[in-house]
Amino acid sequence: MQSDLSTSCCVACYIDLEELDMKSLVFAPETINIAETTRMIEIAKRCRHKFRCIFFGYADTFAYLIEQEGFEFIRMEPWLSEADIEHLWQVDRMEKWGDPFSREQLAMRVQGEVQLFNERKPAAVVIGFTLSVTISARVAGVPLIYVMPFSYTEPFFAAKLADVPELFDNPLTRLIPEKVRKTIISYWGLHTKMWMKPFRAVAKSYGLNGFEKTIDIYQGDYNLVASAPELTTVYELPPKWQYVGPIFAKLRGDVQDEIERIPRDQPLIYLAMGSSANLEILEKVMRSFAGLPYRVICPMKFHLQHSRLEIPENVYLFDWLPAHKVNPLVDLAIIHGGEGTVQTACMSGKPFVGIGLQPEQEANIDYCVRFGNALRMKRRDLSVSSLIRAIEKVLTSAEMQAKAVELKQILERYDGPQNVSDFILNVIGE
C-alpha cells in the first residue's frame, strides 16, 4: 500500500512539474462580447495541452464561460461599469460619436496589461478586439496574435469591398456609381484617424510610433482571419496574414426539452441578435411576429430582462443557447450579422435573413448575400410586411437552400480553432 501511495505522489509531482514547465499563452477578449469570448475559448481549448492558457478582461459579463472551461480569468482595472459597456456598444454600432476609451482609461489599461505581461512572461497574447493590447503587447515585447473577422481590415479595404454603411445610405449617396462609392469608402477606411487621439497619446508616452491611422490598431504581429476566401472572395492576403477558417461558439448544454417540444406545424425560425443587440431593433422584430404563421426560438432573455415588451405567443424566449445545436433544427435564422452568429448559421446548412447593426456586420451579411445563402434587410425598411416578404423569399427559394448547403460543405473543410493552435505552435515554437 505504501508503495502505491509513493508511486501516486511521484506521478502527481511529475504532472505538476510538467505544468510548471509549460509556457503561458494569454487570451484577451473583450468579455462584454459573447462571440469574441467564445472564439478565444475555442482556441484555448485546442492549445491547453501545450500552453498554460490565461485569460484577462475588464467585465464579468461572459467571464463565467471562461471559468466554466477551467481557465484562469484575471479581472483587470479599470473595471467597466454598465455605463462604460453601453458606451462601447453605442460607439461600436456607430450610434454615438466619440472615442471608445478616454486617454486616462486607455493609459490605465495599458499600464496594467504591461505589468501582467512582465509578471507572466507569456509566449504570446491572442486578442480579438481588446484594442489596448495593441499598445501593451508592443511595450512588453510580447508577440501579438490577432484573430479577427475579415470585414473592415486592411486587406478588406484594399480589395474595395466596403460600401456606404446603412447609417449614411440615402438618395444622394445612391446617385454615386457603386465603383466610385466603394473607392471612396475604401480610401477612408485605409486613412481615417477615427478613435486615434487617445491611442496616439498613450503610445507616445511609451516612446512608440506607428499609431496614426485607425487601421494601425486593427493588426498585430500575426493576423489570423476567422473566415474563408471562398466567402470573402479575396484569396491573396498581405504578409503576416492568413485565413484559418470559421471559429464560433460551442456553448455547453443540450438543446432544451422545451425546444424539442415546439410544434413543427409552422416554419421554425431562430432569432438572435448577439450580445451587441440594439434593444429597439430587437423589440421591433419580436413585435412583428405577433400573429404571424411562424414559430420563433429567441435566446435574447439577457437583453429583454428589463424590457416591458409583451412577448408574442409564437415566440419562445430563452437565455443563451448552444446555437450550433439549435440552428440545424430550424428552417431559417434571422440574425444581426456578427461573425460568430453568421458562421453558426452557415455551418447549419440553412439560409438566413441578416439585419446588420453596424458596418462590419453589414459586410459579413453581404458576403453571404453574394454567395447566395442569405438575404439582407435594412433596419429602416423593417416592418411586418417586409419581414414576411423576406422570410417567404428565403423559405421558398430552392436556390438559396442549395447555396446554404454548398457553403456548409465548403466551411466544413476548415477547423478554425485547430488551425490557430497549429499556427501558434509553429510560429511561437514549443
Residue 14 has pLDDT above 50, yes or no: no
For range 399-427, the mean pLDDT: 96
Q: Tens digits of per-residue pLDDT, 262-286?
A: 999 999 999 998 887 788 889 999 9
Integer-rounded Cα radius of gyration of the chain: 22
Question: pTM of the entire structure?
Answer: 0.90
Give domain limits for the chain: 2-245+414-428, 257-411
* 8 Å CB contact between 327 and 270: yes
Among 95-104, 137-146, 326-335, 421-430, where is mean pLDDT lowest?
A: 421-430
Q: Tens digits of per-residue pLDDT, 182-240?
A: 999 999 999 999 999 999 999 999 999 989 999 999 999 999 999 999 999 999 999 99
The C-alpha cell of 184 is what? Answer: 471612396
Element (H, E) at 37: helix 34-47
User: With respect to CATH, is domain 2-245+414-428 assigned 3.40.50.2000?
Assistant: yes
Residue 18 has pLDDT above 50, yes or no: no
The C-alpha cell of 116 is what? Answer: 501582467
Determine the pLDDT at residue 429: 65
Q: Tens digits of per-residue pLDDT, 295-307?
A: 999 998 888 887 8
Residue 19 has pLDDT above 70, yes or no: no
Determine the pLDDT at residue 5: 32
- Let me know if 409 is exposed, middle or buried by CB neighbors in 10 A (0-12, 13-18, 19+): exposed
Residue 12 has pLDDT above 70, yes or no: no
Determine the pLDDT at residue 10: 36
Q: Where are the beta strands (DSSP E) in 217-343?
A: 222-225, 241-243, 268-272, 295-298, 315-317, 332-335
Determine the pLDDT at residue 22: 79
> Any idea which residue has 467571464 for its cell?
63
DSSP code for 291: T
Confidence of residue 248 (pLDDT cuts 50, 70, 90): very high
Q: Tens digits of per-residue pLDDT, 332-377?
A: 999 999 999 999 999 999 999 999 989 999 999 999 999 999 999 9
Q: Tens digits of per-residue pLDDT, 119-163?
A: 999 999 999 999 999 999 999 999 999 999 999 999 999 999 999
Determine the pLDDT at residue 405: 97
Pick the CATH number of 257-411 from 3.90.660.10, 3.40.50.2000, 3.10.110.10, 1.20.120.1760: 3.40.50.2000
Determine the pLDDT at residue 295: 96
Among 50-64, 166-180, 386-400, where is mean pLDDT lowest?
A: 166-180
Determine the pLDDT at residue 430: 52
* 8 Å CB contact between 50 and 63: no
Determine the pLDDT at residue 7: 32
Helices (H) and strands (E) in the chain, counts: 20, 13
Determine the pLDDT at residue 423: 96
* 8 Å CB contact between 276 and 95: no
Are domains 2-245+414-428 and 257-411 of this chain identical in fold? yes
- State the distance between the two ends of the chain, measured CA to CA, in whole angstroms: 38
Question: Which residues fall within 8 angstroms of residue 163, CB to CB, at 6 or more apart?
Answer: 178, 181, 182, 185, 366
- Nearest residue to 31 (alpha-carbon basis) of 72, 92, 75: 75
Determine the pLDDT at residue 21: 58
Determine the pLDDT at residue 342: 95
Among 45-49, 66-70, 280-284, where is mean pLDDT lowest?
A: 280-284
**In this prediction, what percent of the chain has a pLDDT beyond 70?**
95
Residue 11 has pLDDT above 60, yes or no: no
* 8 Å CB contact between 246 and 348: no
